Structure 1
Amino acid sequence: MTVHADTPRWPRHGMLWGHLISDTSLEELHEVAARAGLPPRSFDLDHYDWPTAARESLEQAGVHFVSDGELTRLLIGSGLRIKLRDRPAARARRSAEHAAELGLEPVPRDLLVGLRGHVDPLPEEPGAFRLTRDVPAGEARIEAHDRAGHRAAAAMLDRLDALSRARTGSGFVGQVMDAPTPGI
């Protein structure tokens, strides 16, 4: 049982990012990522994204560094890999499961309840939004291209808070990305 990382090569947010995977289980992966101080939001279905600055903490957590090709081979061999073409369906399943837990209908494009993981980026569509809240009573971070997106995000947050309070006694914690369906 080992957790492996490759060399950061993928640019995003002004940094280079690598991938962290387990050859055995997601539980092991989450445990090592937490020990290394990676934020739970950096989890992406079957791996964590990690910035170059985290290398020392990953080394201290016992992570084994390998080449990109070796990392891919290990992830495939683990049975945990979610292929690129299967990722939208995996996100849709996760969204449907999380919406069902809350009693939310219709299911948004991408929904995540809790702190582990993240939703897809904000699409370039009118009315689209992406919101994140990391604590029940905290401010939500809303990304939107227009007023319609901001209004839709605020309405979604109100619905999510009400459903979450009915279920758990506290407000919504998680992320959602959605956009209006064309023609509706």
Structure 2
Amino acid sequence: MTVYADTPRWPRHGLLWGHMISDRSLAELHERAREAGLHPRSFDLDHYDWPEHARADLVAAGVVMVGNKELTRRLIAGGLRIPAARRAAARRERTEAAARDLGLDRVPLDLITGPVGHVDPLPQRPGAFRLTRDEAGAPPRIEAQDADGRRAAERFLAAVDDASWTRTGALWIGQVVDAPESGRPS
């Protein structure tokens, strides 16, 4: 089993980003990402996004650098690739399972329970929010389009903390993005 990374060429947040994959195992991929110092939130369904400045850390962790086409070929051959046409459905399935596990009344747009993975970017809609808590007891990070979005995030956090506490005895750790369907506050 080997972990591979390609050449960073995707701009975001003022940086160039590449992808890192395993040819056989997501567990191996997560372990190598930890060894290389990648943030667990940089996992995206079947790969990690990594910033250009992390190259030396990846190489030191044993990641093999390959070209972009070779990376995709190995991900497909390993059976771990989630094709672009299926990514939205995979996110939705992940969200529905997390909401069901927590017993939430309403399924948000995108939800992850736990410290690994990230949700979609904040929608450009009134009332939208993106909420992250990476460790128990840590203050949450809230991004919101407006005051309605901030209030919605605070309501969601109270509900999900209560649901998590009831089921696990611990506050919720995860990330969520949501927005009211009508564009009005939820």
TM range (shorter): over 0.9
Q: Quick one: distance in 1 between partners of 2:28 and 2:130?
A: 30
Q: Compute the displacement of 1:109 (Å).
A: 0.7
Q: Are the aligned partners of 2:125 and 2:183 in contact in 1 as well (CA < 8 Å)?
A: no
Check if 1:134 corresponds to 2:126. Answer: no
Deviations 1:34-72 (A, max 9, x none): 111111110000000001111111111111110001111
Check if 1:22 corresponds to 2:22. Answer: yes
The aligned residue for residue 100 of structure 2 is: 100
Check if 1:169 corresponds to 2:166. Answer: no
The aligned residue for residue 159 of structure 2 is: 159
Q: Quick one: distance in 2 between partners of 1:145 and 1:100?
A: 27
Q: Quick one: distance in 1 between partners of 2:183 and 2:85?
A: 27
The aligned residue for residue 81 of structure 1 is: 81
Letter paired with 1:104: L
Q: Compute the displacement of 1:124 (Å).
A: 0.6
TM-score (norm 1): 0.97
Aligned-pair Cα RMSD in Å: 1.1
The aligned residue for residue 91 of structure 2 is: 91
Letter paired with 1:32: R
Check if 1:144 corresponds to 2:144. Answer: yes
Q: Are the aligned partners of 2:126 and 2:183 in contact in 1 as well (CA < 8 Å)?
A: no
The aligned residue for residue 68 of structure 1 is: 68
Q: Quick one: distance in 2 between partners of 1:171 and 1:147?
A: 24
Q: Quick one: distance in 2 between partners of 1:19 and 1:172?
A: 28
Deviations 1:152-179 (A, max 9, x none): 1010000001001111112111001001
Q: Compute the displacement of 1:104 (Å).
A: 1.0
Q: Quick one: distance in 1 between partners of 2:165 and 2:119?
A: 22
Structure 2 gaps of 5+ residues are none
Q: Quick one: distance in 1 between partners of 2:68 and 2:134?
A: 32
The aligned residue for residue 13 of structure 2 is: 13
Q: Compute the displacement of 1:183 (Å).
A: 7.6
Q: Are the aligned partners of 2:127 and 2:183 in contact in 1 as well (CA < 8 Å)?
A: no
Check if 1:3 corresponds to 2:3. Answer: yes
Q: Are the aligned partners of 2:7 and 2:68 in contact in 1 as well (CA < 8 Å)?
A: yes
Q: Are the aligned partners of 2:4 and 2:65 in contact in 1 as well (CA < 8 Å)?
A: yes
Q: Quick one: distance in 2 between partners of 1:24 and 1:105?
A: 37
Letter paired with 2:113: V
- SS of 1:127's partner is coil
Q: Quick one: distance in 2 between partners of 1:37 and 1:155?
A: 33
The aligned residue for residue 40 of structure 2 is: 40
Letter paired with 2:35: R
- SS of 2:159's partner is helix
